[in-house]
Protein backbone atom coordinates (compact mmCIF):
# COMPACT_ATOMS: atom_id res chain seq x y z
CA UNK A 1 0.00 0.00 0.00
CA UNK A 2 1.26 3.47 -0.89
CA UNK A 3 1.76 5.56 2.25
CA UNK A 4 3.42 8.76 3.40
CA UNK A 5 6.71 8.11 5.19
CA UNK A 6 8.87 10.55 7.13
CA UNK A 7 12.52 10.02 6.14
CA UNK A 8 13.76 11.41 9.47
CA UNK A 9 11.79 9.50 12.10
CA UNK A 10 9.87 6.80 10.23
CA UNK A 11 6.40 8.18 10.99
CA UNK A 12 3.79 6.91 8.52
CA UNK A 13 0.37 8.16 7.43
CA UNK A 14 -2.32 7.19 4.97
CA UNK A 15 -2.32 9.17 1.73
CA UNK A 16 -6.06 9.65 2.15
CA UNK A 17 -5.57 12.15 4.97
CA UNK A 18 -4.89 15.87 4.60
CA UNK A 19 -1.83 15.84 6.85
CA UNK A 20 0.70 17.82 4.83
CA UNK A 21 3.81 17.13 6.90
CA UNK A 22 5.15 14.70 9.47
CA UNK A 23 3.25 15.42 12.72
CA UNK A 24 6.35 14.58 14.78
CA UNK A 25 9.14 16.63 13.16
CA UNK A 26 7.06 18.83 10.80
CA UNK A 27 9.32 17.80 7.94
CA UNK A 28 8.27 16.86 4.39
CA UNK A 29 6.92 13.43 3.55
CA UNK A 30 8.46 10.83 1.27
CA UNK A 31 6.22 8.29 -0.45
CA UNK A 32 6.49 4.59 0.36
CA UNK A 33 5.73 3.42 -3.16
CA UNK A 34 6.87 0.60 -5.42
CA UNK A 35 6.81 0.64 -9.21
CA UNK A 36 4.07 -1.74 -10.35
CA UNK A 37 6.14 -3.52 -12.96
CA UNK A 38 8.99 -3.15 -15.43
CA UNK A 39 8.58 -0.81 -18.37
CA UNK A 40 9.83 -1.58 -21.84
CA UNK A 41 10.16 0.64 -24.86
CA UNK A 42 7.92 -1.68 -26.85
CA UNK A 43 5.15 -1.50 -24.24
CA UNK A 44 4.91 2.27 -24.64
CA UNK A 45 3.86 2.15 -28.27
CA UNK A 46 0.31 3.40 -28.74
CA UNK A 47 -0.10 4.75 -25.21
CA UNK A 48 -1.51 8.18 -24.34
CA UNK A 49 0.88 10.91 -25.47
CA UNK A 50 1.39 12.49 -22.05
CA UNK A 51 3.35 11.76 -18.89
CA UNK A 52 0.57 9.36 -17.86
CA UNK A 53 1.96 6.83 -20.37
CA UNK A 54 4.35 5.68 -17.59
CA UNK A 55 1.47 4.35 -15.52
CA UNK A 56 3.46 1.51 -13.94
CA UNK A 57 5.81 4.06 -12.37
CA UNK A 58 3.18 6.48 -11.05
CA UNK A 59 1.37 6.40 -7.69
CA UNK A 60 -1.91 7.49 -9.31
CA UNK A 61 -3.63 6.02 -12.35
CA UNK A 62 -6.56 6.76 -14.65
CA UNK A 63 -6.51 10.56 -14.14
CA UNK A 64 -9.36 12.91 -14.98
CA UNK A 65 -7.32 16.05 -14.18
CA UNK A 66 -5.02 16.38 -17.16
CA UNK A 67 -4.12 19.01 -19.73
CA UNK A 68 -2.02 16.70 -21.90
CA UNK A 69 1.16 17.55 -19.99
CA UNK A 70 4.50 15.96 -20.75
CA UNK A 71 6.24 14.50 -23.81
CA UNK A 72 8.33 17.62 -24.38
CA UNK A 73 11.01 17.36 -27.09
CA UNK A 74 14.78 17.01 -26.86
CA UNK A 75 16.69 19.39 -29.13
CA UNK A 76 20.50 19.40 -29.56
CA UNK A 77 22.21 22.70 -28.70
CA UNK A 78 25.81 21.56 -29.28
CA UNK A 79 27.53 18.29 -30.04
CA UNK A 80 27.25 17.24 -26.39
CA UNK A 81 24.56 19.46 -24.81
CA UNK A 82 20.88 18.78 -25.45
CA UNK A 83 17.92 20.81 -24.22
CA UNK A 84 14.59 19.40 -23.06
CA UNK A 85 11.91 21.96 -23.83
CA UNK A 86 9.74 21.87 -20.73
CA UNK A 87 8.62 25.46 -21.33
CA UNK A 88 6.23 23.90 -23.87
CA UNK A 89 4.04 22.51 -21.06
CA UNK A 90 0.42 23.75 -20.75
CA UNK A 91 1.25 26.50 -18.21
CA UNK A 92 4.70 27.12 -19.77
CA UNK A 93 6.85 25.49 -17.10
CA UNK A 94 8.00 22.06 -15.91
CA UNK A 95 5.97 22.49 -12.72
CA UNK A 96 2.96 21.03 -14.57
CA UNK A 97 4.52 17.60 -14.11
CA UNK A 98 4.04 17.72 -10.35
CA UNK A 99 1.01 20.00 -10.21
CA UNK A 100 -1.15 17.57 -12.15
CA UNK A 101 -0.37 14.87 -9.57
CA UNK A 102 -1.31 17.14 -6.68
CA UNK A 103 -4.55 18.32 -8.31
CA UNK A 104 -5.55 14.77 -9.19
CA UNK A 105 -4.88 13.63 -5.62
CA UNK A 106 -6.82 16.61 -4.24
CA UNK A 107 -9.76 15.87 -6.55
CA UNK A 108 -9.97 12.36 -5.11
CA UNK A 109 -9.82 13.63 -1.52
CA UNK A 110 -12.47 16.39 -2.05
CA UNK A 111 -11.05 19.02 0.35
CA UNK A 112 -12.89 22.23 1.16
CA UNK A 113 -10.01 24.25 -0.28
CA UNK A 114 -6.59 23.90 -1.91
CA UNK A 115 -3.70 26.23 -1.12
CA UNK A 116 -0.22 26.54 -2.57
CA UNK A 117 2.80 28.80 -2.19
CA UNK A 118 5.23 29.65 -4.93
CA UNK A 119 7.60 32.16 -6.45
CA UNK A 120 5.35 31.91 -9.48
CA UNK A 121 5.56 28.83 -11.70
CA UNK A 122 4.31 26.23 -9.23
CA UNK A 123 1.49 28.61 -8.31
CA UNK A 124 0.41 29.07 -11.91
CA UNK A 125 0.51 25.32 -12.47
CA UNK A 126 -1.50 24.47 -9.34
CA UNK A 127 -4.02 27.21 -10.21
CA UNK A 128 -4.49 25.81 -13.71
CA UNK A 129 -4.90 22.20 -12.65
CA UNK A 130 -7.24 23.11 -9.81
CA UNK A 131 -9.33 24.97 -12.36
CA UNK A 132 -9.34 21.82 -14.47
CA UNK A 133 -10.43 19.79 -11.42
CA UNK A 134 -13.03 22.39 -10.32
CA UNK A 135 -11.28 22.89 -6.98
CA UNK A 136 -11.19 26.22 -5.08
CA UNK A 137 -7.59 27.38 -4.93
CA UNK A 138 -5.58 30.07 -3.13
CA UNK A 139 -1.97 30.76 -4.09
CA UNK A 140 0.49 32.61 -1.82
CA UNK A 141 3.31 34.47 -3.60
CA UNK A 142 6.02 36.84 -2.37
CA UNK A 143 5.82 40.51 -3.21
CA UNK A 144 7.91 41.19 -6.27
CA UNK A 145 6.74 38.05 -8.09
CA UNK A 146 6.66 38.58 -11.84
CA UNK A 147 3.39 40.35 -12.79
CA UNK A 148 2.98 37.94 -15.70
CA UNK A 149 2.91 35.02 -13.27
CA UNK A 150 0.41 36.64 -10.90
CA UNK A 151 -1.75 37.56 -13.90
CA UNK A 152 -1.75 33.92 -14.98
CA UNK A 153 -2.71 32.73 -11.49
CA UNK A 154 -5.67 35.12 -11.42
CA UNK A 155 -6.69 34.15 -14.95
CA UNK A 156 -7.17 30.56 -13.82
CA UNK A 157 -9.60 31.75 -11.16
CA UNK A 158 -7.40 31.25 -8.13
CA UNK A 159 -7.37 33.67 -5.23
CA UNK A 160 -4.01 35.41 -4.91
CA UNK A 161 -2.38 36.22 -1.56
CA UNK A 162 0.66 38.49 -1.95
CA UNK A 163 2.91 38.17 1.10
CA UNK A 164 5.29 40.97 2.20
CA UNK A 165 8.87 39.74 2.22
CA UNK A 166 10.56 36.91 0.40
CA UNK A 167 10.05 33.26 -0.35
CA UNK A 168 10.45 32.07 3.25
CA UNK A 169 7.80 34.47 4.57
CA UNK A 170 5.45 33.26 1.86
CA UNK A 171 6.01 29.62 2.72
CA UNK A 172 5.38 30.32 6.42
CA UNK A 173 2.09 32.06 5.64
CA UNK A 174 0.93 29.17 3.48
CA UNK A 175 1.93 26.53 6.01
CA UNK A 176 -0.01 28.33 8.73
CA UNK A 177 -3.08 28.30 6.48
CA UNK A 178 -2.44 24.65 5.62
CA UNK A 179 -3.20 23.64 9.21
CA UNK A 180 -6.82 24.80 8.80
CA UNK A 181 -9.17 21.75 8.79
CA UNK A 182 -10.40 20.74 5.35
CA UNK A 183 -7.35 22.16 3.57
CA UNK A 184 -5.26 20.32 1.00
CA UNK A 185 -1.80 21.87 0.87
CA UNK A 186 -0.66 21.46 -2.73
CA UNK A 187 2.97 21.93 -1.77
CA UNK A 188 5.52 21.16 -4.44
CA UNK A 189 8.04 20.92 -1.58
CA UNK A 190 6.27 18.93 1.14
CA UNK A 191 4.02 16.61 -0.86
CA UNK A 192 6.01 13.76 -2.48
CA UNK A 193 3.40 13.16 -5.17
CA UNK A 194 4.89 16.22 -6.85
CA UNK A 195 8.28 14.49 -7.08
CA UNK A 196 6.68 11.44 -8.66
CA UNK A 197 5.34 13.80 -11.32
CA UNK A 198 8.67 15.49 -11.99
CA UNK A 199 10.42 12.14 -12.35
CA UNK A 200 8.61 11.70 -15.67
CA UNK A 201 11.06 14.27 -17.05
CA UNK A 202 13.71 11.52 -16.95
CA UNK A 203 11.38 8.72 -18.08
CA UNK A 204 10.65 10.76 -21.21
CA UNK A 205 14.35 11.36 -21.75
CA UNK A 206 15.03 7.63 -21.39
CA UNK A 207 12.32 6.77 -23.91
CA UNK A 208 13.31 9.41 -26.47
CA UNK A 209 16.99 8.43 -26.30
CA UNK A 210 16.09 4.85 -27.12
CA UNK A 211 16.40 3.34 -23.66
CA UNK A 212 19.47 5.18 -22.42
CA UNK A 213 20.34 8.36 -20.53
CA UNK A 214 23.09 10.96 -21.00
CA UNK A 215 26.27 10.98 -18.95
CA UNK A 216 24.89 13.86 -16.87
CA UNK A 217 21.59 15.59 -16.16
CA UNK A 218 21.83 19.25 -15.15
CA UNK A 219 18.96 20.87 -13.27
CA UNK A 220 18.41 24.25 -11.60
CA UNK A 221 17.96 23.74 -7.86
CA UNK A 222 16.07 25.81 -5.33
CA UNK A 223 13.71 23.49 -3.48
CA UNK A 224 15.09 20.63 -5.57
CA UNK A 225 11.83 19.19 -6.92
CA UNK A 226 13.17 18.44 -10.40
CA UNK A 227 16.45 17.08 -9.09
CA UNK A 228 14.76 14.80 -6.56
CA UNK A 229 12.34 13.61 -9.23
CA UNK A 230 15.30 12.85 -11.49
CA UNK A 231 16.96 10.93 -8.67
CA UNK A 232 13.80 8.85 -8.18
CA UNK A 233 13.58 8.07 -11.89
CA UNK A 234 17.22 7.09 -12.33
CA UNK A 235 17.01 4.84 -9.26
CA UNK A 236 13.84 3.16 -10.56
CA UNK A 237 15.20 2.68 -14.08
CA UNK A 238 18.43 1.24 -12.70
CA UNK A 239 16.60 -1.10 -10.30
CA UNK A 240 14.53 -2.42 -13.21
CA UNK A 241 17.66 -3.09 -15.26
CA UNK A 242 16.63 -0.51 -17.86
CA UNK A 243 19.89 1.47 -17.56
CA UNK A 244 23.33 0.13 -16.70
CA UNK A 245 24.62 3.25 -14.95
CA UNK A 246 22.95 6.21 -13.29
CA UNK A 247 23.92 9.60 -14.75
CA UNK A 248 25.61 12.26 -12.65
CA UNK A 249 23.19 14.89 -11.32
CA UNK A 250 24.55 18.41 -11.82
CA UNK A 251 22.78 20.86 -9.51
CA UNK A 252 22.92 24.51 -10.54
CA UNK A 253 22.25 27.45 -8.22
CA UNK A 254 22.48 31.20 -8.58
CA UNK A 255 25.65 32.39 -6.88
CA UNK A 256 23.59 35.02 -5.04
CA UNK A 257 21.44 32.37 -3.31
CA UNK A 258 23.39 29.12 -3.12
CA UNK A 259 23.00 27.51 0.31
CA UNK A 260 23.10 23.97 -1.06
CA UNK A 261 26.25 24.58 -3.08
CA UNK A 262 27.91 26.00 0.05
CA UNK A 263 26.94 22.94 2.10
CA UNK A 264 28.10 20.57 -0.65
CA UNK A 265 31.50 22.27 -0.87
CA UNK A 266 31.83 22.12 2.92
CA UNK A 267 31.08 18.36 2.75
CA UNK A 268 28.10 18.91 5.07
CA UNK A 269 25.00 16.73 5.18
CA UNK A 270 22.76 19.67 6.10
CA UNK A 271 22.63 23.38 5.33
CA UNK A 272 25.20 25.55 7.01
CA UNK A 273 24.13 28.26 9.44
CA UNK A 274 22.94 31.14 7.30
CA UNK A 275 24.22 34.67 7.94
CA UNK A 276 21.70 37.12 9.36
CA UNK A 277 19.79 39.32 6.94
CA UNK A 278 17.77 38.90 3.79
CA UNK A 279 18.93 36.77 0.87
CA UNK A 280 20.67 38.63 -1.95
CA UNK A 281 18.48 39.40 -4.97
CA UNK A 282 18.85 37.25 -8.08
CA UNK A 283 17.35 37.13 -11.55
CA UNK A 284 16.77 33.40 -10.98
CA UNK A 285 13.75 33.95 -8.73
CA UNK A 286 12.54 30.38 -9.13
CA UNK A 287 15.58 28.96 -7.32
CA UNK A 288 16.12 31.74 -4.77
CA UNK A 289 15.40 29.46 -1.80
CA UNK A 290 17.55 30.20 1.29
CA UNK A 291 16.39 27.20 3.40
CA UNK A 292 15.05 24.33 1.24
CA UNK A 293 13.22 21.82 3.48
CA UNK A 294 14.57 18.83 1.55
CA UNK A 295 18.19 19.97 1.73
CA UNK A 296 19.49 16.72 3.22
CA UNK A 297 17.88 14.63 0.49
CA UNK A 298 19.14 16.95 -2.27
CA UNK A 299 22.74 16.84 -1.04
CA UNK A 300 22.61 13.05 -0.68
CA UNK A 301 21.13 12.58 -4.16
CA UNK A 302 23.85 14.64 -5.84
CA UNK A 303 26.63 12.85 -3.97
CA UNK A 304 25.20 9.37 -4.62
CA UNK A 305 25.04 10.11 -8.35
CA UNK A 306 28.66 11.26 -8.52
CA UNK A 307 27.46 14.73 -9.44
CA UNK A 308 28.28 18.19 -8.17
CA UNK A 309 26.96 21.70 -7.57
CA UNK A 310 27.73 24.61 -9.87
CA UNK A 311 26.84 28.28 -9.39
CA UNK A 312 26.26 31.03 -11.94
CA UNK A 313 26.50 34.80 -11.63
CA UNK A 314 23.88 37.34 -12.59
CA UNK A 315 25.94 38.37 -15.62
CA UNK A 316 26.16 34.74 -16.73
CA UNK A 317 22.37 34.46 -16.45
CA UNK A 318 21.87 37.57 -18.59
CA UNK A 319 24.32 36.32 -21.21
CA UNK A 320 22.81 32.83 -21.28
CA UNK A 321 19.28 34.16 -21.78
CA UNK A 322 20.36 36.25 -24.77
CA UNK A 323 22.43 33.39 -26.17
CA UNK A 324 19.51 30.98 -26.04
CA UNK A 325 17.22 33.59 -27.58
CA UNK A 326 19.72 33.96 -30.42
CA UNK A 327 19.39 30.20 -30.93
CA UNK A 328 15.59 30.48 -31.08
CA UNK A 329 14.65 29.72 -27.46
CA UNK A 330 13.10 32.46 -25.31
CA UNK A 331 13.50 31.15 -21.77
CA UNK A 332 12.88 32.76 -18.39
CA UNK A 333 15.86 33.75 -16.28
CA UNK A 334 15.69 30.78 -13.91
CA UNK A 335 15.43 28.39 -16.82
CA UNK A 336 18.70 29.52 -18.43
CA UNK A 337 20.86 28.77 -15.36
CA UNK A 338 21.89 25.30 -16.51
CA UNK A 339 22.85 26.48 -19.99
CA UNK A 340 24.95 29.17 -18.31
CA UNK A 341 26.66 26.50 -16.19
CA UNK A 342 27.30 23.63 -18.64
CA UNK A 343 26.70 25.03 -22.12
CA UNK A 344 30.42 24.87 -22.85
CA UNK A 345 30.87 21.21 -21.88
CA UNK A 346 32.45 19.05 -24.58
CA UNK A 347 33.75 16.01 -22.69
CA UNK A 348 30.44 14.28 -21.92
CA UNK A 349 26.78 14.30 -22.90
CA UNK A 350 24.43 16.37 -20.76
CA UNK A 351 20.77 17.37 -20.93
CA UNK A 352 19.62 20.76 -19.64
CA UNK A 353 16.00 21.74 -18.99
CA UNK A 354 14.60 24.88 -20.55
CA UNK A 355 11.98 24.83 -17.86
CA UNK A 356 10.06 28.10 -18.11
CA UNK A 357 8.99 30.37 -20.96
CA UNK A 358 10.58 33.80 -21.29
CA UNK A 359 7.14 35.38 -21.42
CA UNK A 360 6.88 34.64 -17.68
CA UNK A 361 9.60 37.09 -16.68
CA UNK A 362 10.75 38.98 -19.76
CA UNK A 363 14.37 39.78 -20.59
CA UNK A 364 16.76 40.33 -17.72
CA UNK A 365 17.65 43.96 -17.05
pLDDT of res. 275: 65
User: Mind listing the pLDDT tens digit for each residue in 123-179?
Assistant: 999 999 999 999 999 999 999 888 989 999 999 999 999 999 888 899 999 999 999
Once rounded to an integer, what is the mean pLDDT over residues 81-93?
97
pLDDT band, very low/low/confident/very high, at 277 (cuts 50, 70, 90): low
Once rounded to an integer, what is the mean pLDDT over residues 86-106?
97
Residue 273 has pLDDT above 80, yes or no: yes
Give a three-class secondary structure readout of the chain: CCEEECCCCCCEEECCCCCCCCCCCCCCCEEECCCCCCCCCHHHCCCCCCHHHCHHHCCCCCCCCCCCCCCCCEEECCCCEEEECHHHCCCCECCHHHHHHHHHHHHHHCCCEEEEECCCHHHHHHHHHHHHCCCCEEEEEECCCCHHHHHHHHHCCCEEEEECCCHHHHHHHHHHHHCCCCEEECCCCCCCHHHHHHCHHHHHHHHHCCCCCCCEEEEECCCCHHHHHHHHHHHHHHHCCCCCCCCEEEEEEECCECHHHHHHHCCCCCCCCCCCCCCCCCCCHHHCCCCCCCHHHHHHHHHHHCCEEEEECHHHHHHHHHHHHHCCCCECCHHHHHHHHHCCCCCCCEEEECCEEHHHCCCCC
pLDDT of res. 31: 98
pLDDT band, very low/low/confident/very high, at 203 (cuts 50, 70, 90): very high
Residue 283 has pLDDT above 80, yes or no: yes
pLDDT of res. 168: 86
Residue 337 has pLDDT above 80, yes or no: yes
pLDDT band, very low/low/confident/very high, at 276 (cuts 50, 70, 90): low
pLDDT band, very low/low/confident/very high, at 234 (cuts 50, 70, 90): very high
**Mean pLDDT estimate for the chain:** 95
pLDDT band, very low/low/confident/very high, at 194 (cuts 50, 70, 90): very high
With a pLDDT cut of 90, the percent of the chain lying above it is: 90
Amino acid sequence: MTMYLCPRDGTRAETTVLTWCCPVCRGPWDLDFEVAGPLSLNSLSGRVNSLWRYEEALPLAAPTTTLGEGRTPLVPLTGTVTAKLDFLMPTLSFKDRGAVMLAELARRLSPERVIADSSGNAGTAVAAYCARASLPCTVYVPEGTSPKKTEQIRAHGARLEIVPGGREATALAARTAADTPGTFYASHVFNPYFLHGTKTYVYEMWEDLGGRLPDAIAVPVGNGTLLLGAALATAELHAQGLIDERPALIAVQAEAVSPLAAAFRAEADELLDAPAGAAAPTLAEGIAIPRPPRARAILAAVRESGGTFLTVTEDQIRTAQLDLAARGFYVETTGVACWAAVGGWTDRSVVVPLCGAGLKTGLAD
